[in-house]
Structure 1
Amino acid sequence: MSPEQIDALNQEVSGFNATQLIEWAIARSEGRAIVTTNFRPYEAVILHLATQAKPDIPVLWADHGTNLPETYRFAEQTRTQLNLNIKPFLPQQTAAHWLALNGGSIPMPDEVERVESFSQVMKLEPFQRGMRELAPTVWITALRREQNPQRAATLRPVQWDSGFNTLKVNPILDWVPSDLEAYLTEHQLPNERTYYDPAKGDEKHECGLHAPLTTK
């Protein structure tokens, strides 16, 4: 899709709220919309929004196997409460195997090489495999500008992901924590605040999941 076409789509959805943008995206998806999650804090918001528009929407989760127990409990609580249609994709190497060969402990933020190795093997590969298998025409994300300064200037409500040949839709792009908290309270949704992602290490570090692919 050309930049001009993406510009036109963003003009078309200008002024839409999150619900309207998701409904618009699903309507043009030809039945092949997905939402992705890692069950980090506030993920119940995008999952609730997406399932309100399409209750059986596939939920792609690349589970690297080293989440904190609180994260797995949050994932199960959210899955049950929202009746999520989770499509889990797991690494081809178990977490125990990777850890045994790579220092025996979860990578820490300052261990850049270990973080990047973990990210590629345990998170990016299963995610990319999941995207290829599900082959969505619309990919709904929970990306927000305030999460990462690298994203602030480049993200738009509607983008084209050339790596996966899909329309990438960011319904809560401009939400801030107070908006998210209010939504959780209004809809009595669970949350998880102890999350740590070894594939990123530092919260401001990109794990690469939303970066353009160089190979398929």
Structure 2
Amino acid sequence: MVTSKTAADLNIEFKEKEIVETLQSLADKFPGKVVFTTSFGIEDQVITDYIFKNNIPIKVVTLDTGRLFEETYKVYNRTIEKYQKSIQPFYPKNEDLEQFVAEKGPNSFYLSVENRKQCCHIRKVEPLGRALKGMACWITGLRASQSNNRHDLEQFVWDGGFEIVKFNPLLDWSLDDCRTYVKENQVPYNVLHDRGFVSIGCAPCTRAIKPGEDFRAGRWWWENNSKKECGLHTH
């Protein structure tokens, strides 16, 4: 059974370890219970390359909200073709989504933060709960420089909401580090990154950012709130 102490112990154990070594060790320590969730952003593509290229037995999954960019589906397909590995999708529950859209409309998330968070919960948070069920360790592409909320993260943290240890292997990487890795290793990446998109989510809720804007300015851009999160990483 993993606990908050597990996360603290892992921070000590893997403090000086390379990413590939850590990923393999986690797969050995928690056999069949390590999962990586990818949204096919540039950070996630780096981690996918580490896992697939080295044949590390870690389950790779994605949350398909039903409102992703076409470019995201293209990089999803190119990734499967390149590595010849499976990426398991998790979709929103039909009945929940149908009721939400019937009651509030397809674009109600623009009307209030409450509606937006409800949409995120149905399309992302609930499916994530199913993806993490029974798992001991959850790997993410979070970086410290992505938002103020993430500056104080450690590589291993305890997520009390999902009751799981979360591993952030790229925590200290910069966006340029990710770009360099993808280029040097010929990793498929989302072409929206070349058009000013840094954080890519659902199409109606994501835009390119302008020079000098905060990293998260392109997400839920109509909201005046510095703590823009969908609920996946708020525990």
TM-score range, shorter chain: 0.7 to 0.9
Taking the aligned partners of 1:42 and 1:106, their CA distance within structure 2 comes to: 30
Taking the aligned partners of 1:55 and 1:160, their CA distance within structure 2 comes to: 23
Percent identical: 28
**More moved, 41-50 vs 99-108:** 99-108
Cα distance change, pair 23–201 in 1 and its aligned pair in 2 (3 A) = same
Contact 1:36/1:140 (CA < 8 Å) preserved in 2? yes
Q: Which has the higher contact order (CA 8 A, sep 6+)?
A: 1
Structure 2 length-normalised TM: 0.77
Q: Partner residue of 2:141?
A: 142
1:32 aligns with 2:55: no
Contact 2:27/2:57 (CA < 8 Å) preserved in 1? no
**More moved, 173-182 vs 33-42:** 33-42
Contact 1:30/1:137 (CA < 8 Å) preserved in 2? no
AA aligned opposite 1:119 = C
Q: Partner residue of 2:53?
A: 52
Q: Partner residue of 2:80?
A: 79
Cα distance change, pair 99–77 in 1 and its aligned pair in 2 (3 A) = farther
Taking the aligned partners of 1:188 and 1:2, their CA distance within structure 2 comes to: 38
Structure 1, gaps ≥5 residues long: none
Taking the aligned partners of 2:48 and 2:227, their CA distance within structure 1 comes to: 23
Contact 1:59/1:84 (CA < 8 Å) preserved in 2? no
Contact 1:107/1:201 (CA < 8 Å) preserved in 2? no
Cα distance change, pair 161–204 in 1 and its aligned pair in 2 (3 A) = closer
Give the superposition deviation at 1:19. Answer: 1.9
Cα distance change, pair 159–54 in 1 and its aligned pair in 2 (3 A) = farther
Structure 2, gaps ≥5 residues long: 207-218
Cα distance change, pair 82–99 in 1 and its aligned pair in 2 (3 A) = farther
Cα distance change, pair 170–206 in 1 and its aligned pair in 2 (3 A) = same
Cα distance change, pair 148–25 in 1 and its aligned pair in 2 (3 A) = same
For residues 84-163 of structure 1, what are the structure 2 equivalents within 5 Å?
A: 84-93=85-94, 97=98, 98-99=100-101, 101-105=103-107, 107-108=109-110, 111-132=112-133, 135-153=134-152, 155-163=153-161
AA aligned opposite 1:77 = R
Calculate the aligned-residue CA RMSD, in Å.
2.7
Taking the aligned partners of 2:6 and 2:96, their CA distance within structure 1 comes to: 42
State the aligned residue count: 208
Q: Partner residue of 2:166?
A: 168
